[in-house]
Structures are given as C-alpha cells and as structure tokens.
C-alpha cells in the first residue's frame, strides 16, 4: 500500500454567513458534501480498533476508524459508502445525526486523536453527521432499518422507558434492536427531552430530531406523550406491566440564583426561555400561541452550552446580548464551536462578574443586574478550576431581559412518588455498576444519575442500561 | 391522535364546560391537582382546573378569555380532538376530617375546584360549605353545575346583587367565621380576592389553602415560570402547589408575575378575534 501523505489541516465545513443566520433560526453549520467528507476521511491514519484513542474517548465507543474506513473504501459509490459507514455507526449509536451535531467532540473522540498531535484532529463529529444526513436524504437509513429491526418472532419481554431524551431514546433503540417491546413515556407533548426543548433549531433542526425518533418507531418502539410517570402512572404500576423500567428523566429542574429580585418580570430560567422558543416556537408568535417577551438588552448568566443557546436565541429575536460569567474565559464549559459561533454573531462576554441582585423598575420589571467583580486565585478547587473571590467592587449591567443558565438539578417527580427509590443528597438516583436503582428491575441513566452532563454520556448510559436490562430479563425468565 | 371531546356546554355569558376523553389522567387524578392542555398543534400549554374525573374523562370549566379558550369554544365541538392533555399535575390536597370545611370561589377555575373538593371532603365526613361568587346573574352557572349537591350549606353571591346574595364570598365568610363555623378554608379564583381572604382568616388562625394561579409552561417543575415566594423561599406553583397556605404566599409578587404576558395575550386575542370576524364566526 502506498504511503499516505499526512494532511495536517481539516477540510472545513461551510457555514451560513453571520449576517444571514442571525436573522433566523436556520442551522448554522452546513456539513460536508460527499467529496469533502471523503477528503477529510482520507486524513485518518486508521489506528487499529483495539488501540484507537478516538473509540476510547467516545462514551458509546463508536467504531470510528471502522466507519471512516467504510466511507472511503467505497469512494466511487457514495450510497454504498454511506450505507456501510452507517451500519458501523448504528452498531453502537442509533442517533448519529444528533450526536454528530451536539457532542463536545473536542473533549471526547477528537481530543486524543493521533492526527491532533501533528495537526488538526480528524473532524469526527462532522463525518458522523455527514453519514447520518446523507443516509437520511437518500433513504439509505430506511434500507438499513430492515437489517436492524427485529422481526418480532422472538420478542423477549416488555420494557418501559421513562423520558424520551438522549438516555431514554438510546436505551429504547438498543432494546428494540435486541427484540424487546419498548414503550417510552414522555411528560411533554413531543418526544426528545432536552433535544427538543433545550437545543435550538440552529444547532439541531427539529426535522432531523423528528426523523431520528421516527426510526425508533420503525424499530417497534411505542412513544406515549403526555404521561408524567410518578403522576399519570406510578412506578409501581409500570412494574406490574413491564419486565423492567429505565428511568431517563434527566436533570430538568433549573437552579435559581438565591438573590433579591429573582421574581421580577423579564427574568427567565434558561429552561423557560428555551422551552418557549424551541418547543413552543415563541419566535413565531402570534402564528404560534406561546409568547415570549424580549427586550433591547439581554444578559445571560452562565457559560455552558445552555447559556450559548439562550444568548444566540435572544440575539436572533432582535436583542443585544451579553453573557456574564463569574469565572474567567478558560473555565467556560460550553463547546468551543458554540462559543465561537456566539462571538461571531455578536454576543458580548463579560468575565469575573458574580450576580448579587436584580434591580426592577416601578412596574416590577427588571432593568439592571448588580454584579460583584471577582478575581481568580492561584489556588484550585476540587474541579481543577481556579478559586474565585469577591473584590468588593460592584458594577451594574442594564438589562430588560435576563436569562439564568447556571445549571440544573434532577427532577424529583418520580423519586418523590416512588419512596423505595433511593437518591443521593443532590437528588440524583442511586444506581449500582449495572445502573440498577435501589428497586429491582428499575434502571436509570443520564442526568437523572449524573446531575448535569452531556448528551453523549446520557446515551452511553442508555446503552449500558439496555445491556443490563437484557441480562436482568434473561435471568428472570431462565430462573422462572 | 388526540383526545376526543365528549361534552361541551355553555355555563354562562363567559364560561363553558368541556369534557375530554383522557383515561390516562382520570385514573389517577386527585382533588387539588390540575391538567395542562394544548388545543391544537400551534397552541400553548395552558393549565386547567378539573371539575370531575370520571369514566376516563376529564371535565373542565373554561373561561372564554384568551386565544386558547376562544379556540376551544369556537373551533372545537363534541367529537373533535384536542391536541394534548397531560396530568394529573401538582400535589393533591389532604382529604381528611377537618370539621367544617368551606370552599370559596370567585372565578372559573375555582368554581370547578369547589365542586370537586367539597365532594371529596363530604365523603370524608366533613360538614361542607360552598360560597360561590359571580360578577352578575348572566355569569352565574346553571344550578346543576354549582357545588350545591355536595355542600351542606351553599351560598351564591353576585357582586351586583342581580341574583343570590349581594356581595362577595369575603362578606359571607366573615359572617360564618364570626358564627364560629369555620375550621378550614379552601379556595381559589381572583388573586386580588385571595389577598383579602388571607388577611381575613389570618387573625383568627384559620388554616387557608388556596390555588395560586401562575403562568406555566411545562407544569412539572422543569421551566420555573410559575415561581412564587412562599414563606421566604422560591417555590414552583406547578410542582410544590398549586394549592398553598394563603398566609405564607407573597401575594404582591404573585399578582405581578401573573400579569407578565398581558400585552402579548391581548395582542394575540385581538388578532384572533379579527380572524373570527373575517370568517363570519362572530
């Protein structure tokens, strides 16, 4: 085999120009076409799977060199290439159009990539996304579904999945592939969890999410929206009807700042702000019935992906936006791509500002946020971040809209109702190494056990729990 | 796939009754809990009180007030399906023997809760008293929809005196308190009246549990839209309520927050009414 030349630079993906995209919610990144995807795929030096650091870096262990190989091996037949690559991905992950878009690849698969030591790491996320998108556009995923669908002859049992976010969808997909009858219960009127209420169209178009979920339905998964488990049905009732239950209820409760003025009009939690926009399409009010008030100047508090999503959404609704973070730039937890996009689009960043009070006008509407200026010490905290302390200096930022994006806690609807379900002091569910909770046959994963984490870690849990559920049910029936 | 409407009936000049097939909710609903409904695919999520939950159906009293409720009245009939209904949500209230239980109501949501709550309280062996206040005779419901059948004592008042006793539930309640007939008060309706209710019962130390109506989106504690200041702490009306001890709520804040979208709601309503006029519906 001819020696490959190392190409240090990534093949770029086109993006919608800034001036155009800030006027609408269209997806920003346009992704690869086949030719450029092949070019990028050619850069991969094909580490052997047992060594490949990218696989180790991926929480669901997608065979990354494998799918890249499949893609470029058939570079003269795009449909064949994509079909083979998709087959490799689906073995580990049934939702690549989602993960290809929202995973923090720079911290996971792409971080340890060997190519990254000599140049840019392989653009794994965009390649994964390309395979998923091309397959969807050319109905290749439909063909492949037949291969993956269980024909229903050896149905093994029934599993209830609570929550249709990344963890629940993954668990459901894996179990359906194994031949289980799976029912997903979702509290909202549409499935997707955080993917539908939390992530804006410009990062993950709803149409793509809907299609990914439709694949699960074709695999035999039933989705029941408008079911709040713990209220509509109890966990006990589920256990009477199903062989096992998977809880993937996420971290749905917003953390609030315990400072004066929190009830003022114009102050939203990121969850409310994004739910109104993403799920309820408030940016199309009054064509859609859900309103959202947005002022001339929005201050977003926080520095994670949610803060970026809220900031960029506010910008698209015509507001000037400042992100205020109590730490420094290096401690922001958002993906680099999202921070970069936010900056490009004109979001301003202010660091070392800790909010201490919301100031309202005579009508009870917010007009400013008072911050204490902070400074960083050399000493580091448990998370490896520099400790920060107040300086005693204060600053006012004018704002008629404020979005609080400082994190989430698990939603306690189930744990409050099912008293046998043990929780940690922070509200997360206690699970063992199989992801089984304190109730036999009830498993859990994702943010419900982690607190706030990423889509892909939730999917990793969904996959692991599916395997444990399979073993649990097999054992149950073999000993019966 | 939706939820079929099984009954629709006019209650008064402004309110109507609607019953929807929702067995998933009816089997678990308890007094104090509410539902969230969406009329159609572009609709918003609206919390609704429950009048009854029987035979797999949820009955609601609804005021023709904003876009969703106009839609439900003008565009939906028996046999049609609404897009979504979720529940039961919120915490049930404790149904037990209290003695003399009063339910006060002066707006549509609470009129529904009055019947449901007193029915349960009566079954639990309480002496039940309903005080139902309406603006005037035209806004008053037909007798079968009042809480009369489940109340040992029933008072109907109108603010203009056009039917029943002239006055507000506050007036009647004050008399009952003075006669020493009140062990606990439940209620709901206009937030402004609830402030006065809290002021009235507090000096007597009468427990007073009321629905704190707030703007909600998801209804499960996810969005934080319905936050209220309760006993100095931020609580979510959907998850921690919707019924709270009236003496511990910061009413000034609750009233302000509930008016957050008044301008938008008015605009949407005007646009919708114009559309109805154009179509010749009204």
Q: Say yes or no: A202 and A227 in one domain.
A: yes
Domain boundary among A110, A125, A149: A149
Burial of A39 per CB tally in 10 Å (0-12, 13-18, 19+): middle
pLDDT digits 0-9 by tens, B197-216: 999 999 999 999 999 999 99
Q: Say yes or no: A382 and A443 in one domain.
A: no
Domain boundary among A121, A149, A177: A149
The whole-angstrom separation of Cα A390 and Cα A374 is: 4
Confidence of residue A1 (pLDDT cuts 50, 70, 90): very low
Instruction: Examine residue A8 and state whether it is found in any structural domain, yes or no.
Output: no
Instruction: Examine residue A195 and state whether it is found in any structural domain, yes or no.
Output: yes
Return the pLDDT at B149. 94
CATH of the domain at A205: 3.50.50.60
Residue with tokens 């319905």: B226
Residues linked to residue A371 through DSSP beta bridges, in sequence order: A355, A395
CATH of the domain at A91: 1.10.1060.10
The pLDDT > 70 percentage for chain A reads 98
Confidence of residue B99 (pLDDT cuts 50, 70, 90): very high
Q: Say yes or no: A188 and A217 in one domain.
A: yes
Mean local confidence (pLDDT), A212-234: 94
> Which H or E run contains A455?
helix A455-479
Residues linked to residue B186 through DSSP beta bridges, in sequence order: B103, B209
Q: Say yes or no: A77 and A176 in one domain.
A: no
Residues A68-85: b if buried by 16+ CB within 10 A, e if exposed: bbbbbebbeebeebbbbb
Interface contact flag, A187 B267, Cβ < 8 Å = no
Q: Please check if B109 is assigned to a binding site.
A: no
Mean local confidence (pLDDT), A345-361: 96
Residues of the domain holding A427? 158-252+409-478
Using a CB-CB cut-off of 8 Å, the residues of chain A touching B33 are: 231
Mean local confidence (pLDDT), A304-319: 95
Q: Say yes or no: A322 and A343 in one domain.
A: yes
Return the pLDDT at A136. 94
* Beta strand ranges found along A110-252 (DSSP E): 158-162, 181-185, 222-224, 244-247
Look up the pTM and report it. Answer: 0.93
Instruction: Examine residue A13 and state whether it is found in any structural domain, yes or no.
Output: no
Q: Say yes or no: A376 and A439 in one domain.
A: no
For residue B102, pLDDT beyond 80? yes
Domain B100-211 falls in which CATH fold? Rossmann fold (3.40.50)
Bond from prior residue into B88 cis (ω within 30 degrees of 0): yes
Q: Say yes or no: A402 and A422 in one domain.
A: no
Q: Say yes or no: A227 and A291 in one domain.
A: no
Please, are residues A227 and A264 in contact by the beta-carbon 8 Å criterion? no
Interface contact flag, A413 B257, Cβ < 8 Å = no
Q: How many domains does chain A have?
A: 3
Q: Please check if B223 is assigned to a binding site.
A: yes
Instruction: Examine residue A170 and state whether it is found in any structural domain, yes or no.
Output: yes
- Which of A462-466, B95-99, B262-266 has the weakest average pLDDT? B262-266
Return the pLDDT at A151. 57
**What homologous superfamily does CATH list for B3-89?**
Translation factors (2.40.30.10)
pLDDT digits 0-9 by tens, A387-413: 999 999 999 999 999 999 998 888 888
Q: Give me the residue from B28, B218, B263 closest to A233, CB to CB.
A: B28
Mutation to test the B interface, candidates A162, A191, A217, A226, most B Cβ within 10 Å: A226
Mean local confidence (pLDDT), A441-465: 92
Mean local confidence (pLDDT), A263-267: 94
For residue A382, pLDDT beyond 80? yes
For residue A148, pLDDT beyond 50? yes
Q: Say yes or no: A234 and A189 in one domain.
A: yes
Q: Where are the domains of chain B?
A: 3-89, 100-211
Mean local confidence (pLDDT), A367-377: 96
Please, are residues A204 and A101 in contact by the beta-carbon 8 Å criterion? yes
Q: Residue A28's closest CA among A209, A205, A275, A270?
A: A205
Q: Dihedral of the CA atoms B214, B243, A413, B60 (nearest 10)?
A: -70
Residues B237-248: b if buried by 16+ CB within 10 A, e if exposed: bbbbbbbbebbe
Say which DSSP state A363 is in: T
* Beta strand ranges found along A258-347 (DSSP E): 267-269, 297-301, 320-324
Burial of A460 per CB tally in 10 Å (0-12, 13-18, 19+): buried
Interface contact flag, A232 B217, Cβ < 8 Å = no
Instruction: Examine residue A329 and state whether it is found in any structural domain, yes or no.
Output: yes
Q: Around Cβ A426, how many Cβ atoms within 10 Å?
A: 9
Please, are residues B84 and B21 in contact by the beta-carbon 8 Å criterion? no
Q: Say yes or no: A265 and A350 in one domain.
A: yes
Look up residue A1 and give its two tokens: 């085999």
The whole-angstrom separation of Cα A270 and Cα B147 is: 41
Domain boundary among A406, A441, A464: A406
Mean local confidence (pLDDT), A463-474: 94
Residues linked to residue A320 through DSSP beta bridges, in sequence order: A297
Mutation to test the A interface, candidates B44, B87, B214, B223, most A Cβ within 10 Å: B223
Using a CB-CB cut-off of 8 Å, the residues of chain B touching A412 are: 221
Q: Give me the residue from A224, A269, A286 closest to B223, CB to CB.
A: A269
Please, are residues A132 and A126 in contact by the beta-carbon 8 Å criterion? no
- Which of A276-285, A422-431, B258-267 has the weakest average pLDDT? B258-267
| Mean confidence (pLDDT) of chain B | 94
Q: Dihedral of the CA atoms A160, A163, A166, A167 (nearest 10)?
A: -50
Residues near A237 by Cβ (< 8 Å), separated by ≥ 6? none
Q: Say yes or no: A305 and A426 in one domain.
A: no
Phi then psi for residue B144, to 5 deg, are -65, -15
For residue A152, pLDDT beyond 60? no
Per-residue three-class SS string for B52-89: EEECCEEEEEEECCCHHHHHHHHHCCCCCEECEEEEEE
Q: Say yes or no: A342 and A385 in one domain.
A: yes
Q: Around Cβ A19, how many Cβ atoms within 10 Å?
A: 9
pLDDT digits 0-9 by tens, A78-102: 999 999 999 999 999 989 999 999 8
């Amino acid at each position: 085999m001819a020696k490959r030349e190392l190409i240090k630079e990534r093949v770029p993906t086109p993006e919608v120009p800034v001036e155009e995209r800030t006027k609408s919610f269209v997806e920003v990144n346009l992704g690869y076409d086949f030719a450029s995807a092949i070019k990028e795929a050619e850069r991969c030096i094909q580490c052997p799977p047992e060594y490949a650091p990218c696989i180790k870096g991926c929480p669901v262990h997608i065979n990354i060199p494998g799918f890249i190989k499949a893609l470029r091996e058939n570079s003269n037949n795009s449909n064949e290439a994509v079909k083979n690559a998709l087959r490799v991905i689906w073995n580990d992950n049934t939702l690549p159009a989602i993960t290809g878009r929202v995973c923090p690849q720079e911290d996971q698969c792409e971080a340890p990539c060997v190519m990254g030591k000599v140049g840019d790491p392989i653009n794994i996320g965009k390649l994964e996304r390309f395979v998923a998108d091309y397959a969807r556009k050319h109905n290749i995923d439909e063909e492949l579904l037949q291969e993956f669908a269980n024909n229903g002859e050896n149905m093994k049992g029934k599993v209830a999945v609570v929550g249709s976010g990344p963890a629940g969808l993954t668990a459901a997909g894996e179990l359906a592939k194994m031949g289980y009858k799976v029912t997903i219960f979702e509290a909202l009127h549409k499935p997707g969890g955080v993917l539908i209420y939390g992530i804006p169209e410009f990062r993950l178009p709803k149409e793509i999410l809907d299609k990914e979920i439709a694949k699960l339905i074709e695999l035999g998964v039933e989705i029941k929206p408008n079911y709040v488990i713990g209220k509509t049905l109890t966990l006990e009732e589920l256990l009477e009807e199903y062989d096992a239950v998977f809880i993937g209820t996420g971290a749905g409760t917003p953390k609030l700042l315990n400072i004066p003025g929190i009830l003022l009009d114009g102050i939203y939690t990121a969850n409310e702000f994004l739910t109104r926009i993403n799920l309820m399409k408030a940016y199309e009010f009054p064509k859609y019935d859900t309103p959202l008030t947005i002022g001339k100047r929005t201050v977003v508090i926080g520095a994670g992906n949610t803060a970026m999503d809220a900031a960029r959404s506010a910008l698209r609704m015509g507001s000037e936006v400042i992100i205020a973070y109590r730490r420094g730039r290096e401690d922001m937890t958002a993906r680099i791509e999202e921070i970069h996009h936010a900056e490009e689009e004109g979001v301003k960043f202010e660091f070392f500002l800790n909010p201490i009070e919301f100031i309202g006008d005579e009508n009870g509407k917010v007009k400013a946020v008072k911050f204490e200026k902070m400074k960083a010490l050399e000493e580091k905290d448990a998370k490896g971040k520099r400790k920060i302390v107040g300086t005693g200096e204060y600053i006012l930022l004018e704002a008629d809209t404020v979005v609080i994006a400082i994190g989430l806690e698990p939603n306690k609807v189930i744990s409050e109702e099912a008293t046998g379900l043990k929780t940690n002091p922070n509200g997360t569910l206690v699970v063992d190494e199989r992801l089984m909770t304190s109730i036999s046959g009830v498993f859990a994963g994702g943010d419900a056990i982690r607190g706030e984490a990423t889509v892909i870690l939730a999917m990793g849990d969904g996959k692991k729990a599916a395997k444990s559920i399979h073993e649990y049910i097999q054992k149950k029936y073999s000993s019966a | 796939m939706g939820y079929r409407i099984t009954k629709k009936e006019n209650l008064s000049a402004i309110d109507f009754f609607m019953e929807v097939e929702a067995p998933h909710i009816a089997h678990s609903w308890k007094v104090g809990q509410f539902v969230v409904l969406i009329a159609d695919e572009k609709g918003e999520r609206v919390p609704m009180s429950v009048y009854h939950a029987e035979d797999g159906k949820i009955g609601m009293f609804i005021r023709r007030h904003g876009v969703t409720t106009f839609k439900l009245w003008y565009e939906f009939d028996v046999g049609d399906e609404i897009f979504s209904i979720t529940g039961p949500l919120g915490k049930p209230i404790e149904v037990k023997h209290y003695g003399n239980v009063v339910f006060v109501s002066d707006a549509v949501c609470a009129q529904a809760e009055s019947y449901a709550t007193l029915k349960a309280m009566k079954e639990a062996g309480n002496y039940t008293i309903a005080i139902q206040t309406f603006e005037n005779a035209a806004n008053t419901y037909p007798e079968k929809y009042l809480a009369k059948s489940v109340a040992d004592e029933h008072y109907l008042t109108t603010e203009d005196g056009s039917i029943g006793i002239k006055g507000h539930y506050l007036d009647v309640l004050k008399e009952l308190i003075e006669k020493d007939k009140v062990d606990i008060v439940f209620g709901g309706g206009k937030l402004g009246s609830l402030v006065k209710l809290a002021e009235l019962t507090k000096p007597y130390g009468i427990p007073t549990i009321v629905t704190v109506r707030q703007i909600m989106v998801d209804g499960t504690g996810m969005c934080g839209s319905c936050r209220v200041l309760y006993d100095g702490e931020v609580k979510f009306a959907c998850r921690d309520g919707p019924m709270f001890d009236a003496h511990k709520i910061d009413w000034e804040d609750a009233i302000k927050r509930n008016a957050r979208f008044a301008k938008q709601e008015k605009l949407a309503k005007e646009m919708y009414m114009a559309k109805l006029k154009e179509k010749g519906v009204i």
